[in-house]
Amino acid sequence: MKLNRREFLALTGKTAAGAVIFAACGLPERELIVQSPVDLPEDLVRGEDAWYATSMGDFSNGDGVLVRVMQGRAKKIEGNPDHPVNRGKASARYDSVLQLLYHPDRISEPMVRYSKSGNLVAANWDQASTRFKEALSKADGALTIVTNPIRGHLGAVATNFAAQYNGKHMAFDPVEQGVLHGAVKSVLGQDQLPTFDISNAQTVLSFGADWLGTWGSPTQFGVKYGEFREQQDRGYLIHAEPRMSITAAAADLWLAPIPGTEGDLALGIASVIIENGMVSPQNVAAFEAAVPGGVSSYQLAEVASRTGISADRIEKAATHFAEHTPSVAFGGGSAGAHTNGSFNLGAIYALNVLVGAVDAKGGVTSNPGSAFDDVPASATGASFEAWEAELAEWRAGNVETVIIRGADIVHGMPNSVKIREALEHVPNVIAFGAIHDDTMDFADLVLPEQTFLEAWGTEIPEPGPGYQVVGTQQPVVGPTITRDESGLISDARGFGDTLLSMSDGSYGSSMERLVKDALSDLHDTGRGSVSASSSSLFINGTLQRGGWWDISTSGSSNVGKVNVKERNASYSDTGSLGTGDDFHLVPFHSNSLFDGRLAATPWAQQTPDPISSVSWSTWAEINSIQADELGINEGDVLRIRSTSGEIEALAYPHPGVRPGVIGIPMGQGHHKSGRYAEDRGSNVFSILADEKDSETGALAWAATRVRVQRAGRRVKVPKFEGNVVARPVEPGVPVLVVGISETAEEAQEANHHLYQKQFLGEGKESGSDE
């Protein structure tokens, strides 16, 4: 065979092309690999799921959960049916939390900033530990540990660590519960929050607290609410809040008082009850002893004018509350977030004295103290006043090292405290976390932290169920390998374990040891839900059940006095804020993002708000009629200005908000926090004025008045509502159309019904049978 040069070259090229094609079409090597690990833990068996009982860490108030783990990966979180707090029920937030564990922006390794003007650079744990030790070596007497209010042993570890360096442990909660704790202490004489026997109550009267959505222990209360409605007459729920939360939407009677007048409303209700002799004289005497000055200045007409609620509605609430017993009253949230917050909440909790609901069936149930001597049963954030003083120390250069965990203080503090400037004056800022948050921009050392699904701990639910409960938290997954098997998703360590490794060892060597020793101590008491012949069996039994509880324990109240130092609310000034219309700002917890701690997760972001159905953004709820008057339409970008600053939010006019009030959800407006939250929406915390509760110094976060102006732009509000025309799906079962200026009863009476036949016969024309 003879080949000329041209043919030879052509043949060579074609052969090479063929070889490439053949090679590319083969089976990739990785598809043939079956990896056999060295050890095979039970949760790595292929095809078999393992369920581990643990607690929800920072993401609930002590719910017990079961985590489904397949081949070492956590797949689903469900409620633990054995756990006395949530009794097997779950919340939408459980699913979101899993996304923190496998978040694509999870901090994978420690990062160090070598000079204040430099950048954070990746480091290993040895380098990070050296840097940590250097920071501690100069920190004696000048150390502050900042955390969220952590309960259980982790909180005790932080407190002990701070004490070892003569420093302090300050908890930060952007939505302070200090006023609530103070009111419970002064009126009911309890150090920890009580729970409420909603299941057995005939009437529930709540103020400001969105207890079915975000306040207190919503999963616990949700179970009880189900039982409350299963009673023969379904119970009667009265809820007072300036905007319609999910609790207000579930109420039989919703009262929308002028913000800050909840205490007046409570005493107005008491006044009606006393004047009409609806309760026993003994109860009246006990109530008057608890309320200095009594209710003489809370006559119905006067209260109606002060609170903006009609006299007949106040009377209706009072009659139900007093005559359909057992009844229970409680409050929190925005009702306590005023300059007179302590008075408001005190007056509300005192209503229980009037109807004999303290420590009674269907009333307030006191909680006992902690099962451990060294771990408190309650945790709350330091007051705003205390924070202002602390930040002044930071600015003055008196604090050498600040360790921050679980608290995004840059996001959570109002502009007025100049938190960024304060952080810049601290030589060593050490931040723990799973996702890079706004505070870490100011950190000199960033340490990747294990999530609650990877770490040991204990949990003392607050509010508990009325008896001692210790929830256990155990690692349900090990270190997780990245998808390309190049390394770990995160070389994270536990906050508690890191502190213990840096301490003198007097408090404990590791969180695991601490938890097991604590459980062993519980075994020695010989009481509670788990009985075993040895402490190791007891520890296993407790971990399997997700905790230990002793139903024979109980708490008791000692009725004291309502704090009446400041009865009238005052608000921030709007005089110097330029053009616009004045509104009262009522921030509220996002149902899915909470105060922003879940903003990094896409599931929480896309979970629609239960009332507005808005997701992925920050909206501003304005009364529909008022919006009409001001020419504000849905989606108008509003500039909302306070003495602390300005934010933008999308207008969402709807009937479920009191005229003059603007409701804005918390949780958005992060500059960091991962790809899903970064620069999304606005941060309502930033514009809160520095008003404080007169008694506790807590931030009066609902006492800000704002000036609102249209920015001249309009954006489509990302919401589900209104995307499909509401139409009756069953013949003969109409949809009731409630106009913005009428109640459901009025709409019913006026026969504002929409029947299916109208749709079928007349297309999409809406109207009534009239």
| Interacting residue with another protein among 22, 281, 505, 725 (CB under 8 A) | 22
Question: For residue 315, what are the CA distances in angstroms to 297, 303, 321?
Answer: 16, 11, 10
Burial class (CB in 10 A: 0-12, 13-18, 19+), 554: middle
487 is a contact residue toward another protein (CB under 8 A): no
Q: Which of residues 39 and 730 has its CB atom nearest to another protein in the complex?
A: 39
Q: Which of 5, 26, 484, 575 binds another protein (CB under 8 A)?
A: 26
Distance CA 172, CA 408 (A): 9
Least distance from C-beta 72 to another protein, angstroms?
13
Which stretch in 29-37, 100-108, 276-284, 510-518 sits in contact with another protein by CB under 8 A?
Answer: 29-37
Under the binding rule (CB under 8 A), the answer on residue 38 touching another protein is yes
Residue range at the interface with another protein (CB under 8 A); choices 4-12, 386-394, 411-419, 436-444: 4-12
Complex with another protein: residue 189 or 478, whichever CB lies closer: 478
Q: Which helix (H) or strand (E) is 52 found in, with range?
A: strand 49-55
Helix (H) or strand (E) holding 99: helix 92-101
In the complex with another protein, which residue's Cβ is closer, 21 or 725?
Answer: 21
Closest contact distance (angstroms) between CB of 43 and another protein is 13
CB of 45 to another protein, least distance (A): 6
- Which neighbouring-strand residues pair with 645? 642
Return the number of the residue (26 or 732) whose C-beta is nearest another protein: 26
Residue closer to another protein by CB (options 10, 92) is 10
Q: Are 608 and 720 in contact (CB under 8 A)?
A: yes
Looking at beta carbons only, is 5 or 764 nearer to another protein?
5
Q: Is 486 in the site for another protein (CB under 8 A)?
A: no
Q: Rounded to an integer, what distance in angstroms lies between the CA atom of residue 449 and that of residue 431?
A: 9
Q: Does 33 bind another protein (CB under 8 A)?
A: yes
Residue 234 in contact with another protein, rule: CB under 8 A? no
> Please, which residues bridge with residue 203 across strands?
236, 327
Helix (H, G, I), strand (E, B) or coil at 714: strand
Comparison of 48 and 524: residue with beta carbon closer to another protein: 48
Q: Which is nearer to another protein, 29 or 233 (CB)?
A: 29
The nearest distance, CB 125 to another protein, in angstroms, is: 17
Indicate whether 729 belongs to the interface with another protein (CB under 8 A). Answer: no
Distance between CA 179 and CA 266 in Å, rounded? 17
Please tell me whether residue 549 adopts helix, strand or coil conformation. Answer: strand
Compare residues 482 and 509 and give the one whose CB is closer to another protein.
482
| Selected range binding another protein among 3-11, 109-117, 601-609, 685-693, rule: CB under 8 A | 3-11
| Min CB(126)–another protein separation in Å | 18
Q: Does 46 bind another protein (CB under 8 A)?
A: yes
Which of the stretches 37-45, 111-119, 373-381, 429-437 binds another protein when contact is defined by CB under 8 A? 37-45
Q: Which is nearer to another protein, 5 or 46 (CB)?
A: 46
Site for another protein in 414-433 (CB under 8 A): none
Residue 470 and residue 479: Cα distance in Å, rounded?
Answer: 26
Q: What is the CA radius of gyration of the chain?
A: 29
Which one among 25, 724, 725, 729 touches another protein, defined by CB under 8 A? 25
574 to 243, 571, 582, 704, 705: CA distances (angstroms): 21, 9, 7, 9, 6
Number of CB atoms found within 10 A of residue 518's CB: 24
- Residue 5 interacts with another protein (CB under 8 A)? no
Q: Cα angle at 175 between 170 and 176, to 5 degrees? A: 50
Strand-pair category, 64-70 with 49-55: antiparallel
For residue 597, how many other CB atoms are within 10 A of its CB?
25
Look at strands 581-588 and 547-550 and give their pairing: unpaired
- Interaction with another protein in 560-579: which residues (CB under 8 A)? none
Interface stretch with another protein, choices 2-10, 323-331, 462-470, 586-594 (CB under 8 A): 2-10
Distance of CA 471 to the CA centre of its chain: 19
40 is a contact residue toward another protein (CB under 8 A): yes
Query: Hey, which residues between 48 and 77 contact another protein (CB under 8 A)?
Result: 48
The angle, 0 to 180 degrees and rounded to 10, between the axes of the packed helices 341-354 and 262-275 is 30
Residue 577 three-state SS: coil
User: Under a CB-based contact definition with an 8 Å cutoff, are residues 290 and 559 in contact?
Assistant: yes
CB of 27 to another protein, least distance (A): 6
3-state class (DSSP) for residue 665: strand
The residue within the footprint of another protein, chosen from 32, 724, 725, 729 (CB under 8 A), is 32
Residue 642's DSSP bridge partners are 645
Which secondary structure element, helix H or strand E, spans residue 342, and what is its range? helix 341-354
**Window contacting another protein (CB under 8 A); options: 21-29, 51-59, 298-306, 625-633:** 21-29
Could you say which of 5, 28, 39, 763 contacts another protein (CB under 8 A)? 39
Nearest approach, Cβ of residue 52 and another protein (Å): 20
Least distance to another protein from the beta carbon of 48, Å? 7
Contact pick of 36, 232, 533, 552 for another protein (by CB under 8 A): 36
Taking CB under 8 A as the binding criterion, the range among 1-9, 59-67, 167-175, 384-392 that sits at the site for another protein is 1-9
DSSP designation for 180: H
- Residue 725 found at the interface with another protein (CB under 8 A): no
Name which position in 28, 42, 47, 729 contacts another protein (CB under 8 A): 47
With respect to another protein, which residue has the nearer C-beta, 38 or 724? 38
- Whose Cβ is closer to another protein: residue 14's or residue 138's? 14
Overall size of the chain counted in residues: 770
Integer Cα distance of 601 and 592 in angstroms:
10
For the bound state, the minimum distance from the C-beta of residue 39 to another protein, rounded and expressed in Å, comes to: 5
Residue 51 or 759: the one with the smaller Cβ distance to another protein is: 51
Contact 674, 434 (CB under 8 A): no
Question: Residue count at the site for another protein (CB under 8 A)?
Answer: 29
- Residue 256 CA: distances (Å) to CA of 238, 307, 356: 11, 9, 26
Contact in structure between 176 and 381 (CB atoms under 8 Å): yes
**Can you tell me the distance from the alpha carbon of 339 to that of 360, in angstroms, rounded to the nearest whole number?**
31
Identity (one letter) of the amino acid at 236? Y
- Residue 7 is a binding residue for another protein (CB under 8 A): yes
Positions touching another protein (CB under 8 A) are 1, 3, 7, 10-11, 13-14, 17-18, 21-22, 24-27, 31-40, 45-48
